[in-house]
Amino acid sequence: MMRAARRTFSEMKPRTRFAAHKSNTFNKISPQGLERFRPEMYRIKPGEDQPPVAHAIMLRSHKIQDSDVPLTCRAIVRCGAGTNNCNVPRMTELGIPVFNTPGANANAVKELVLCGLLMASRGIYEGASHMTKLHAEGTAHERIEKDKAMFGGRELTGKTLGVVGLGAIGAAVAHSAIALGMNVVGYDPGLSVEAALRLPSGDMEMASLEDLVEQSDYVTLHAPYIKDVTHHLINAELLAKMKPDASLLNFARGELVDEAALNERYEDGGGGRYITDFAVSDELYPRPNVISIPHLGASTEEAEANAAAMAADTVQLYLETGTIKDSVNFPACSLPARDEEHVHRCTVITENRPGMLGDLMSVFGDANLNVVQQINTSKGELAYNVIDLELPRTADGKVDVGEFGTGDFDKLQAKIMEVSGVKSTRFISDWCPGTGYAVKVDDQIIGIGVDSPEQASYAEL
Ligand SMILES: NC(=O)c1ccc[n+]([C@@H]2O[C@H](COP(=O)([O-])OP(=O)(O)OC[C@H]3O[C@@H](n4cnc5c(N)ncnc54)[C@H](O)[C@@H]3O)[C@@H](O)[C@H]2O)c1
Ligand SMILES: O=C(O)[C@H](O)COP(=O)(O)O
């Protein structure tokens, strides 16, 4: 149950505030992000701590399993862009928003892509490896001028760069490539208005993916990896359309490229290089065309700090106010707070269907609670509601605990959960932000309330 005995709200303040939020982290998260959590409100624990108990999970590229997600979890935040290391469809079913930090590491990736373009066009990597060998042999001074002929290259200026995916990173790469004197052609089937406004529009062309690969001397990938959508986006057919000496840069995700088909291309004498920020197959790795970097795109002090700070802010905003921004599976939503003691906020995650809102509102009507303000937003099959309820007041304006006490919240929550299509509910207030939580998992209602059962994860149900 949510709360045991009836108390006045002010009596509850100190106790519940301290126990309010716990966050688990996976991966090493920049201290500049973790410092943003107020210690009186949050406890931060490494994700490996067992049993997993958390209201929120922060992670970088750690592949999170369903068994890492405890029943207490209300939010998952990725310090970075790609969320393919989390089972987003399952989190949506469970009513758990997954957040990311758009653009926070874009500059770091852009800089490494520029390095990748130079490594694709000049023999920097091969030449440096050769020098390591010559120095070890003691012949570096003697051989350097003779051997440099083996590592000649070409210039970027005047060449065409195809940018696949024109979000935060793609747009930054396009601007820099134009500044280097390259022609830029772009492809993005889901370009948002916001992203379109960031593009060097007058200076670049848009094309179909087929035309882009045909025209380009370099193709750089900046699309997300989504299992059923962008798996092997660059396939045998597209690789066959590329110029014989064109290079492919992949700083997005390894799975975007059909490596077996790429291996065939090189087997058949195709040229150009594959510069990637990911590990490649055993067949591809030894090929001289391939340069593999250990996922360094976002590994700069600046990007790590930016992403962690943004993630910390986003998840606190959600836990403390219900506001959703930068979620990959939930609709954006914000309702300004009514800073009045008798107004109590609850959030409800539901199916997005006709009549759903009416069914929900009738629960408050039946409980004789006035809805003073409310917002309902939706994304696909999911709807999200932030509802401010006015509790009964005594003549002097205080909340009437005789009329509506803390135990009544439990009853109200149970009624909300009984409505068909409701996935989860959460009561938020400044004395108890986020502790009143109930969730429906595969038709079973779990009244988490003050966090029991703490040790179970969704995978165990
Ligand atoms: N190497 C690294 O360290 C590193 C760092 C950050 C991001 N990334 C990867 O790069 C990706 C892009 O990052 P971002 O910050 O630019 O994200 P973003 O969301 O700003 O941009 C992604 C763009 O890709 C577009 N897109 C979606 N499907 C597409 C498709 N089939 N073909 C072409 N475009 C498509 C979207 O419409 C969007 O405009 C991330 O999803 C992540 O996987 C890698
Ligand atoms: O999607 C991302 O943001 C990148 O792949 C960076 O991942 P990292 O933070 O684990 O380096």
CATH assignment at residue 285: 3.40.50.720
Please give the ipTM for the structure prediction: 0.99
In this prediction the pTM is 0.91
Please check whether residue 9 lies inside any domain of the structure.
Answer: yes
Number of domains, the chain:
2
* Residue 283 and residue 137 share a domain: yes
Average pLDDT over residues 388-412: 77
* Residue 252 and residue 117 share a domain: yes
* Residue 117 and residue 93 share a domain: no
* Residue 398 and residue 357 share a domain: yes
| Ligand 2 pocket, CB under 6 A | 60-61, 79-82, 105, 295, 297-299
Q: How far is the CA of 242 from the centre of ligand 2 (A)?
A: 28
CB of 53 within 6 A of ligand 1: the answer is: no
Above pLDDT 90, what percent of the chain?
70
Please check whether residue 297 lies inside any domain of the structure.
Answer: no
Average pLDDT over residues 176-203: 97
Residue 368: predicted pLDDT: 87
* Residue 375 and residue 449 share a domain: yes
* Residue 113 and residue 46 share a domain: no
Tell me the HSE value of 383 on the side-chain side, using a 13 A CA sphere: 18
* Residue 425 and residue 401 share a domain: yes
* Residue 335 and residue 274 share a domain: no
Please check whether residue 342 lies inside any domain of the structure.
Answer: yes
Residue nearest (by alpha carbon) to ligand 2 atom 6: 298
Res. 55 pLDDT band, cuts 50 70 90: confident
Pocket test for ligand 2, best of 62, 105, 111, 169 (most atoms within 8 A of CB): 105
* Residue 276 and residue 169 share a domain: yes
The residue range of the domain holding 420 is 4-102+302-460
Please check whether residue 451 lies inside any domain of the structure.
Answer: yes
Which ligand is located closest to the Cα atom of residue 251?
A: 1
Residue 430: predicted pLDDT: 60
* Residue 393 and residue 343 share a domain: yes
Residue nearest (by alpha carbon) to ligand 2 atom 5: 82
* Residue 246 and residue 183 share a domain: yes
